[in-house]
Amino acid sequence: MGCRTVSANANAALAELTSWDSNWKGLRVLVAGLGLSGFSAADTLIELGAVVTVLDGRDDELNQQRGETLMIVGAHQVLLGAEHVTHLPQVQDQQPQLVLASPGWNPRHPVIAEATEAGIPVWSDIELAWRVQNRAGRTAPKWLAITGTNGKTTTVGMTEAILQAAGLKAIAVGNVGTPILDAVREPVDYDVFAVELSSFQLHYTHSISPVASVVLNIAEDHVDWHDGFENYKADKAKIYERTQIAAIFNVADEVTLDMVENAEVIEGCRAIGFTTNTPSVSMVGVVEDLLVDRAFIEDRRTNAVELIALKDIGEIVPRHTAANAAAAAALTRAFGVQPEAVHRGLSGFDAGAHRIQAVARRDDILWINDSKATNPHAADASLAAFTKVVWIAGGLSKGVDYHELVAKHAARLRTVLLIGTDIQGLREALAEHAPKVEVIDITAAVHDETGTLPSGAQVMARAVHTAGKLAQAGDTVLMAPAAASMDQFSSYAQRGNAFISAVSDLMDSGSTDQNSDD
């Protein structure tokens, strides 16, 4: 009862912390996690005058360097190592009044669970940023908020590009690029933030009120972190709460419309759809090869305004890329951006590496790196873009199901080359829905030859070499793993770079010649 009373008092105090100029001095805060967002949050809280203890289970060189930096600027304590993350530590010999959780710390982690049981609020860096962006003498930026299972980074990049093309001081922050608290502390009066939000961040975020928000799509992902798909969806839906102008949903994904209909938005907020088909009233969509707006014009019942021809976005514009462009257009049009700026921002947009990235073409064989396809929903978008595929797939499955994905695309598959160490679910789906497709376990093959567990680079090199021997004219060799990378690589970027390097070596060797005896 005593802990609960203390926590109730702490909660009341936290409710008053709504700006940079609020009284943060002496607030006891535990920052759980010393990654980019955790470091940024700890640094911000120290600057605000809070008493900050930082906790991370990894005692490696990078964390030691970050910890030393935080101690220099005034952290109360930095605790590194697995022995420190089994329980909720005290701050200045008392319970913390606030826990700030990095995205990797799920609600069942002993530290987070103990804090929740004690009634201690748990925030994300996003929640902190929303509060401290309000500062005397400065105008807080408006927020355009973006989440979804896939397409977040592309859409936030498109949104940033459109806003900047409109002459606005805008930056992409959150789950991509610049940590949001770093942007808040920059001596720049930003007009608007394009905020990418993961389900992890949304779980610990409680009070943001964006101008416009969108859930791009929903598919099974991160079910282990959220302890179930329903919890995952519920956290994604939080992005619509308190939206001011436009709650934007995916016409092709009814779940996102349900989220909008059940959200407590600001009075007057409109539900706006985006689609890759012909848009109805209050939608942004595609007519023939044109992206058009029927939502943010006066005569929307009888007319539409052209935004951009899809061919002006890029040489290859798969359906999901067009959907991302429509979502970005809807967000920025809700903010008042003119059609000409949408066109300038999207023209020739570069989605960056590792997202349906063409890395080579030889002998009428296209080699595509989509290492960012870390779940079945993302891989579905990649597979749908090509007719005949040699598919390099597999990795850390995160507990997802592959049956629907394989059943949908079995007819496209010439061969499947499995990489990774957690491929049983994918193998079972292939056996059931694509029994005639050749499946080769590359990791096992290299292991059998060497007698040791191969590195990710070794596996990728063998997969690419094998693909070069099996692919035929007109095929696409698609590396879209439908799984996370951490079983054999440090990140999806490292995995993608390994693919690019292996393809480059293959091109240099000339061994893609189908008449070769190799």
Annotated binding-site members: 148-154
- Whether 142 contacts 193, CB under 8 Å: yes
- Whether 486 contacts 377, CB under 8 Å: no
Binding site feature residues for ATP: 148-154
Looking at residue 104, the DSSP 8-state letter turns out to be T
Q: Which residue has the tokens 């088909």?
A: 277
- Whether 485 contacts 417, CB under 8 Å: no
Residue 389 forms beta bridges with which residues?
A: 413, 476
- Whether 375 contacts 149, CB under 8 Å: yes
Closest C-alpha among 489, 515, 517 to residue 502: 489
What's the rounded Cα separation, in Å, for the pair 479 and 150?
16
Residue 214 forms beta bridges with which residues?
A: 146, 248
What's the rounded Cα separation, in Å, for the pair 500 and 453?
22
- Whether 152 contacts 216, CB under 8 Å: yes
The 3-state secondary structure of 471-490, one letter per residue: CCCCCEEEECCCCECCCCCC
212-215 and 142-147 strand pairing: parallel
Rounding to the nearest 10 degrees, give the CA dihedral for residues 435, 437, 438, 441: -70
Q: E-assigned strands of 238-335? A: 246-250, 270-274, 283-287, 290-293, 305-309
Query: Residue 353 is which amino acid?
Result: A
What's the rounded Cα separation, in Å, for the pair 194 and 298?
26
Q: Which residue has the tokens 């499947």?
A: 416
Q: Which residue has the tokens 């409680």?
A: 206
Q: What are the structure tokens assigned to 290, written together?
A: 């044109």
